[in-house]
C-alpha cells in the first residue's frame, strides 16, 4: 500500500497539474482545454490532451480542488472542457465506465470551432 501511495504521489508531481487559481487564470485567456480528473483515477487520465494544437492545456484534479468541480459542474471524471475567453465552448464527459469516448480529432475540432467563434 505504501508503494502505491508513493507511486501516485510521483505521478501527481510529474504531470501537468494546475491549481484552482491556475485554471481560473488560464481559462480567461484565449482557447484553453482543461481535463478534469481525480488523483485516484490515474488509469483513466487522457494523455492525448497535451497533443491538441492552438490551445493551452492542463489537468485539474477535482479531489484536490473540489470548489472547481462544483464551479464547473463536474459530475464524472474524466471530463474535458474547452474554454474560449473564460466561457465554456464544448464539453466531453466520460461514460459510466469512466472512459472518455471523445477522440483527439473531436476535441481538436471543438478547439478549432472555438477559434472561429466571433468571426
Q: What is the mean pLDDT of the chain?
A: 83
Burial class (CB in 10 A: 0-12, 13-18, 19+), 73: exposed
Mean pLDDT, range 6-21, rounded to an integer: 43
- The domain limits of the chain are 2-116
Share of the chain above pLDDT 90, in %: 73
Q: Which helix (H) or strand (E) holds 3?
A: helix 2-13
CATH class, range 2-116: alpha beta
* Strands 56-61 vs 79-84: parallel, antiparallel or unpaired: unpaired
pLDDT tens-digit map of 47-82: 999 999 999 999 999 999 999 999 999 999 999 999
What's the CA gap between 80 and 94, in Å, rounded?
Answer: 9
pLDDT tens-digit map of 95-112: 999 999 999 999 999 999
Q: What angle do CA 75, 112, 36 make, to 5 degrees?
A: 20
Amino acid at each position: 500500500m505504501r508503494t502505491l501511495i508513493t507511486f501516485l504521489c510521483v505521478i501527481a508531481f510529474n504531470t501537468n497539474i494546475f491549481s484552482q487559481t491556475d485554471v481560473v487564470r488560464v481559462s480567461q485567456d484565449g482557447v484553453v482545454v482543461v481535463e478534469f480528473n481525480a488523483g485516484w483515477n490515474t488509469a483513466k487520465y487522457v494523455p492525448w490532451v497535451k497533443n491538441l494544437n492552438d490551445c493551452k492545456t492542463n489537468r485539474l484534479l477535482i479531489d484536490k480542488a473540489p470548489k472547481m468541480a462544483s464551479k464547473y459542474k463536474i459530475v464524472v471524471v474524466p471530463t474535458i472542457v474547452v474554454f474560449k475567453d473564460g466561457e465554456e465552448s464544448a464539453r466531453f464527459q466520460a461514460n459510466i465506465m469512466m472512459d472518455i469516448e471523445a477522440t483527439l480529432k473531436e476535441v481538436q475540432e471543438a478547439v478549432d470551432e472555438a477559434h472561429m467563434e466571433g468571426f
